[in-house]
Amino acid sequence: MLTRARWIPRLPLLVLCLLAGTALARIGGGESFDSGNSNSDSGGGDASFLVDILIWLIFRHPAIGIPLTIAIVIGVYFYRRSQDGDSSTRKAIDKAEAERRTTVSASAVDGWVSALKAKDPQFDLMKFFDRTKREFLELQDAWFKRNLEPVRKYLSDATFQRLVTQLKLMELLGVRDAIADPQVLDLQIIGLEQNDSFDSVHIRVMAQLSDAEAPANATDEQALAAARKVKPEQFTEVWTFVRKPGAVTKVEGDVSQGKCPNCGAPFEGGAANTCEFCGAIVNSGNYDWVLAEITQGSQFQPHPMTPDGFVKAKQSDPSLTTEALEDRASLVFWKWVESQSLGDAGRLAKVASASFQEEVKGGIEHLGKQGKQKFFVECAVGAVNTQQLTQADGKDLAAVEIKWSAKIGIGPKGGKPPALPSQPQRYVMLLERSSGAKSSADNGMSTNRCPQCAAPLTDNGQPSCEFCGALLSSGEKDWVMKDFGSWEWWRSKGGQPATSRAAPAAAKVPDREERERLVYLMAAMAMADGVVDEGERKLLKMASDRWGIPWANIELALNAPAGSLFDKLIVKGSTEAESFLKELVQVAMADGKVDSKEKKMLEAAAAHLGLQGRLGEFLK
């Protein structure tokens, strides 16, 4: 029998369970790359038990149960109304940011269309919009049904891997995405980039749908019913399509109409994505447009970067492209996430060096001995940019920046992840291959293939191609993952960031995602000794307020289990620590000065970084 002594202390938990919101997961999880604009969800593991308590009280002790239930319902109603105000403000800000980033002039549109027609006289913008709408709706349907094979032919290998991995992450959490009634409201071309390797067209997709979460074992009918209970929400995405110069529009049909883009034969798809009649790799971008990226409108970056060393590298490898290189890096990133989420380092066997695989395997085994695992919740990528290409010791090296975010938690194996805020991350992936290796022009954007025989790669955990036997993990013929670390780690190794063609030498204040990442790094340093004193909390609160980062998320991070924020802390007194302190100073000096409170914060950070007495050097 339940006594008041047992259920009264659990009432706050009951309220939290009732207040917990639904975490939406639109296709690809792109909306999760929010960093600072999303509240953290409360856990709901005891919700059913506590609801049972309420029901028991209503029937056994109505004088207590009925007033208590009414009070809780009223409290939940007014709390959610207050949160809805915050939510609507955040959504309005994101909408305004998306409009700012994706609004273009009519003359710009005319110029882009003319440039496409100059190369491809059959190009028709309205028909391209029809195609985009058709693929958008088919992709939503495939995502909802958790079967991406029917749309694989439209997607670059990295985009396909991203969606597959995100479906697996949701399955591990015991949920599925429920969407209903998707509609395309408006389409617009908002950018065109042309070079010797690829034409990249950016299409703004304004759409709406109803989106909710359902249990993983829910039927399609049950999931659809759950979604239709949610009010439709509008959103803006940017779809980037890539195609080789010289490829032309097929008047008689394209891959979205079930035809091979090279020979016109019937093509239904399949894991190989290869036409059985002419052997063309249909998602390579060599013959038709392939969807290479889905970006949220508020995160769209219209200006490409010029990687240091790219021109020199291309002289010895004419088929080298940043588009394919970044697709390869994105593919490897999602396999890295998948390997840790599933506890299977073999997922990296064909795309990472043997030493890096061992490092990942060691981390998985270390957690396994403790009965724990790593969780990646709401994992999303905001940007992938090639930063630098170099050569050393007979190897080509490529540094590719990946801006991503996730709720990264360490918890009991098979259990639920701990409550954590979405943490923005700025990493650099180091890819390597043997000098003299050449990029495959035939494979193009189909970057998950054997560089020797072009067979599609599988996840069988073996480092060699099962078709021709070529050893893939050596990097002899294609890029493999050598290392992966923070932006500061890479800069400390002499990494040279790329510059924007629009503003080659512009030094700017870090954006919201970068500011939030810096605050989390400071929080991780403060937590390193196991105690965050009141002075440290005040300084973090000051940074949170001034830099526009929700304090509730910082508090949640401060209460997170050890090791949840970052795998590795910055080594004290290192060049990595110096790089981090320089970034903090850059933010603090956004208004041209550093006041006493900011200086106190920077002094505390310098002390944690082992750079006491050197702050003056960085303030000059």
Under 8 Å between Cβ of 228 and 236 = no
CA atoms within 13 A on the CB side of 452: 13
Q: Is the pLDDT of residue 23 over 80?
A: no
Compute the residue count for the chain: 620
Chain-centroid distance, C-alpha 200:
20
Nearest partner of 560 among 604, 527, 583, 598, judged by Cα:
527
Cβ count within 10 A of residue 421: 25
Sign of CA dihedral 34, 35, 39, 44: positive
- pTM (whole model) above 0.85: no
User: Which residue spans within 263-371 are E strands per DSSP?
Assistant: 290-296, 305-306
pLDDT digits (tens, 9 = 90+) for 63-87: 777 777 777 666 655 555 544 444 4
Provide the residue ranges of all domains of the chain, joining segments of one domain with +. 4-97, 304-499, 512-619
237 with 30: CB under 8 angstroms?
A: yes
Residue 14 has pLDDT above 50, yes or no: no
Place of tokens 């990226």: 293
What pLDDT does 33 receive?
A: 47
Residue 39 one-letter amino acid: N
CA–CA separation, 435 and 475 (whole Å): 10
In this prediction, residue 415 has a pLDDT band, given cuts at 50, 70 and 90, of confident
Residue 548 reports pLDDT greater than 60: yes
CA angle 10, 15, 17 (to 5 degrees): 95
Tokens of 493: 């190794």
Structural fold of domain 304-499: Nuclear Transport Factor 2; Chain: A, (3.10.450)
Greater model confidence, 342 or 548 = 342
**Per-residue confidence band for 159, with pLDDT thresholds at 50, 70 and 90:** very high
Model pLDDT for residues 340-375, shown as the tens digit of each residue: 999 999 999 999 999 999 999 999 999 999 998 888
- For residue 93, what are the CA distances in angstroms to 250, 300, 411? 41, 15, 34
- Dist. CA 102–CA 205, nearest whole Å: 10
Nearest-10 crossing angle of helices 551-558, 512-527: 30
Token pair listed for 191 = 């950018």
Name residues whose C-beta falls within 8 Å of residue 122's C-beta, 6 or more positions apart in sequence.
Answer: 248, 249, 250, 251
Q: How far apart are CA 421 and CA 565, in angstroms?
A: 10
Give the amino acid at 203: I
Residue 411 has pLDDT above 90, yes or no: no
CA distance 176 to 169: 10
